[in-house]
Amino acid sequence: MYTDSPKQGLLAKLSKYPGIGKYQLFALLIIVLAVCLRILLTASGWPTTNSDEGTIGLMARHIAYNGEHPVVFYNRNYLGALEAYLGAAFFRLFGPSLFSLRLGIILLDALFFASMYLLTSLLYTKKLALFVLVLLGLGSSAMFLRELYATGGTTQTLLFGTLAFLLASWLALSYRQDLTGSRRWLRLAAYAGWGLV
């Protein structure tokens, strides 16, 4: 197949895979660039650390090297420990450092961007979803502070809140009226069981 430019040839090759179109490729490119920007900021030492990050770092160190398994943030029972577990994984890979700790946060940011793209494209259009990704990827200094600090909940809230809206929207938009009564009750029981978990 003859193409006018190598770029069109690459898009044509990648678009042959199911579910991958030009909007998804642009979304992936924006997410990769946003992640690279966050890695560069973290590698340059911005933002400076604080005591909350120190606590997450201590938790990650205890998980990685002492075999501990905390469920909640130390001395704050309302915050989770997911960031500490991700930090522990990166501590084991790259050694304990602030950069390693923040790599887990950057991973959560990337997942947040992907889920936000999916949510916006489900509810609106793929073009608007790309625009939202650009806004989130470039962001402001206040956004970068919230997205790069390992504080035990900010990035998790963004990710899991978006995933909850995505799931609720998908369920509402894919609702089928033609289900039988027993099938509806079975589905309702499954949703209730999942909600209790």
Burial of 89 (0-12, 13-18, 19+ CB in 10 A): middle
- List per-residue pLDDT tens for the chain, 197 residues long: 444 554 555 555 555 666 678 999 999 999 999 999 999 999 999 999 888 899 999 999 999 999 999 988 888 787 889 999 999 999 999 999 999 999 999 999 999 999 999 999 999 999 999 999 999 999 888 888 888 988 878 899 999 999 999 988 988 888 777 777 788 888 888 888 888 76
CA dihedral 116, 119, 120, 126 (to 10 degrees): 100
Q: Tell me which residue has tokens 């650009």.
A: 134
Query: What pTM does this model have?
Result: 0.83
Burial (0-12, 13-18, 19+ Cβ within 10 Å), 73: buried
Between CA 84 and CA 88 the distance in angstroms is 6
From the CB of residue 70, how many other CB atoms can be counted at a distance below 10 Å? 14
